[in-house]
């Protein structure tokens, strides 16, 4: 037998700002429609948050640049506050993330009442910045995303329908939330398309900036 049949892939992980240790990622939970204005721009009359997931190996960390994915002509950005679950199931740290979405595949799935896995959980669909340990950023903190220097998304964390504590409590109703889980908490309005070569900068006041370039296929 060849050794490669039994060698597991390395555990995805995030850097921790100011620390040499890394945060090993177990899985990624995501919240949809957690900002009312984004729900409206997606055609919903009101926000009704819900969960979906991405695999842990969708993570893009350490300043790596994701490639424009296969099977889409309409890749979208969505800036998000990310919660990192630590010991005893408490939120241990925070980061800036970007939920990349194959919007055309999502629209087709919605029309047919099918799951969103291919639209949301594809390879390199979860760029995420370094974790900052400690308390929740100021609820009035600004969250924003720019493409090639032009601001496309801008909001405040207090505009979330479910705040991070509520998100964690609701996640526990559905899963055995454990250390290593990441939770993407939803995006404000202004989502839109990306093209190969676009440079993205995503920010939340008090956290490490997330920057990446979309590489060609």
With a pLDDT cut of 90, the percent of the chain lying above it is 88
**Residue 160 belongs to what domain range?**
3-213
Q: What is the pLDDT of residues 169-199, one digit of tens each?
A: 999 999 999 999 999 999 999 999 999 999 9
What percentage of the chain's residues is helix, strand, coil (to nearest 5)?
Answer: 20, 35, 45
Read off the pLDDT band of 6 (50, 70, 90): confident
- Give the predicted TM-score (pTM) of the model: 0.95
Flag whether pLDDT at 2 surpasses 80.
no
Give pLDDT, residue 9: 86
Query: Which CATH number goes with the domain that contains 160?
Result: 3.90.850.10
- Whole-angstrom Cα distance, residue 125 to residue 129? 13
Q: Is the pLDDT of residue 8 over 90?
A: no
Mean pLDDT of 28-38: 94
Check if the beta carbon of residue 204 is closer than 8 Å to that of residue 83. no
Q: Is the pLDDT of residue 150 over 90?
A: yes
**Domain count across the chain:** 1
Quick check: 67 pLDDT over 60? yes
């Amino acid at each position: 037998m060849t050794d490669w049949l039994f060698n597991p892939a390395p555990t995805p992980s995030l850097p921790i700002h100011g620390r040499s240790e890394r945060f090993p990622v177990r899985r990624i939970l995501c919240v949809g429609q957690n900002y009312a204005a984004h729900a409206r721009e997606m055609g919903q009359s009101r926000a009704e948050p819900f969960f979906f997931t991405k695999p842990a190996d969708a993570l893009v960390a350490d300043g790596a640049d994701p490639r424009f994915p296969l099977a889409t002509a309409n890749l979208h950005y969505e800036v998000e506050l990310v919660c990192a679950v630590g010991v005893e199931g408490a939120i241990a740290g925070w980061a800036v993330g970007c939920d990349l979405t194959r919007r055309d595949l999502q629209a087709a799935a919605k029309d047919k009442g099918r799951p969103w896995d291919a639209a949301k959980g594809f390879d390199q669909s979860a760029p995420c910045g370094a974790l900052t340990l400690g308390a929740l950023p100021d609820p009035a903190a600004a969250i924003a995303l720019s493409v090639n220097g032009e601001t496309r998304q801008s909001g405040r964390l207090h505009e979330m329908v479910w705040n991070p504590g509520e998100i964690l409590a609701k996640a526990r109703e559905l899963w055995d939330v454990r250390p290593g889980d990441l939770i993407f908490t939803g995006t404000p309005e202004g989502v839109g398309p990306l093209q190969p070569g676009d440079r993205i900068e995503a920010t939340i006041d008090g956290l490490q900036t997330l920057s990446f370039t979309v590489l060609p296929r």
